[in-house]
Structure 1
């Protein structure tokens, strides 16, 4: 396993947002996480990335297992956990090329940054990333000129440029056209061949296209887990989520 969450709970002002949550993610796996509003999906990602500290439980990452609960947000990012929020955040006044170059995994000391010179290896990495996210023809456009879907792909590319081993993606299909959703599915499935990708999503048709294991959260716990066909036929899932 790449990530193991064991017995994690967290309470905010008397509200139990995560309740004895336990699950595992393999090192090269695509996983979808679904559930009603308030199920704990965002809090789960906050805990994994160090933004929120749980009251109880344990989270281990990698081999040998590192205890994420003893690490800062920046340290967690450096060991290979990346997160994409629902709203794309790119440098709109910079080109697609420059956004990807800035995101490449490099030493970030002031001296390294001051004397950085773009190498042929860096250019090749950016070109490969652009091809992977479908933005080869947009490389020299200003990022602010891209469509919403293209900005989402660019941000995914910027995260992939950091070579994460675990990528957390929040509602990537939101606001996309059907064609953009299809392309996003392809990008995420390809990325999951070499790393773990966890997708939090509400669009059930998008989740079905991902064709992966699905974890259903409810009231901060795992309600059901399995294929999309398995969880959508689970009566408890229908009652608390799909039936709405």
Structure 2
């Protein structure tokens, strides 16, 4: 499996507190990975570093087949390189329909200048229809997004990211606040997405992580504490001590 993202020896400190400590992390081009760990383990800072929001003090971040460095690139440039991020709270245009939200995401993929003169063609409308099927909102295309449930808004935002065709999707605690049925659909969406791209899911909910059935990375004090299947990492004495035992 080819490596898409390679984080090596990365550290970052804030006011003397080392949030990330000599972190190394590798991700394949079509892989689903869950990242877990106690509060303060460095999960959010890890995503901030990959997306260019935070600059590390040392280390390297290599991206893609050519191994280009993401360090020094702007957040916008990293997004154009194919890194998409979904934050915990969904951010959709609530007074616009589901269809309009997905079309905006397609338009934004074309860059700011081209987007000014953009009108959706048949292929764009077909793409929106396909995305709406993928995220379970085909029956809601003409509804205003503000009318959707919390879980449906999360799916819409994932769809908006998928519209931009990222090669890596970073998703922060998608299961929070969802019903059981919504969690099951969210699992389906993420597992399906990971067949054609890399997907990293940061999550606290162990039942949701188990449902993802993927490799798990446990962070603690800014470093990788353990890695492997969920059963493997949850039987690790160090993981039990710092995370599961709390």
**Cα deviation, residue 63, structure 1:** 1.0
Say whether residues 1:107 and 2:110 are aligned partners: yes
**Cα deviation, residue 36, structure 1:** 0.1
C-alpha distance after superposition, 1:22-75 (max 9, x if no partner): 010000000000000000000000000000000000000101011000211000
Alignment correspondent of 2:238: 236
Structure 1: distance between partners of 2:195 and 2:136 = 17
Alignment correspondent of 2:173: 171
Q: How does 1:114-193 map to 2 (within 5 A)?
A: 114-193=116-195
Alignment correspondent of 1:211: 213
Alignment correspondent of 1:82: 84
Structure 1: distance between partners of 2:90 and 2:214 = 24
Structure 1: distance between partners of 2:109 and 2:205 = 35
Flag structure 1 segments of 5+ consecutive residues without an equivalent. Answer: none
Alignment correspondent of 1:44: 46
C-alpha distance after superposition, 1:186-230 (max 9, x if no partner): 000000000000000000000000000000000000000000000
Q: Secondary structure at the match of 2:84?
A: strand
Q: Secondary structure at the match of 1:174?
A: coil
Q: TM-score by structure 1 length?
A: 0.98
Structural RMSD (CA): 0.8
Flag structure 2 segments of 5+ consecutive residues without an equivalent. Answer: none
**Cα deviation, residue 107, structure 1:** 2.2
**Cα deviation, residue 118, structure 1:** 1.5
Structure 1: distance between partners of 2:43 and 2:185 = 24
**Cα deviation, residue 117, structure 1:** 1.4
Q: In the comparison of the two structures, how many residue pairs are matched?
A: 243
**Cα deviation, residue 156, structure 1:** 0.2
Alignment correspondent of 1:35: 37
**Cα deviation, residue 237, structure 1:** 0.3
Alignment correspondent of 2:16: 14
Q: Secondary structure at the match of 1:198?
A: strand
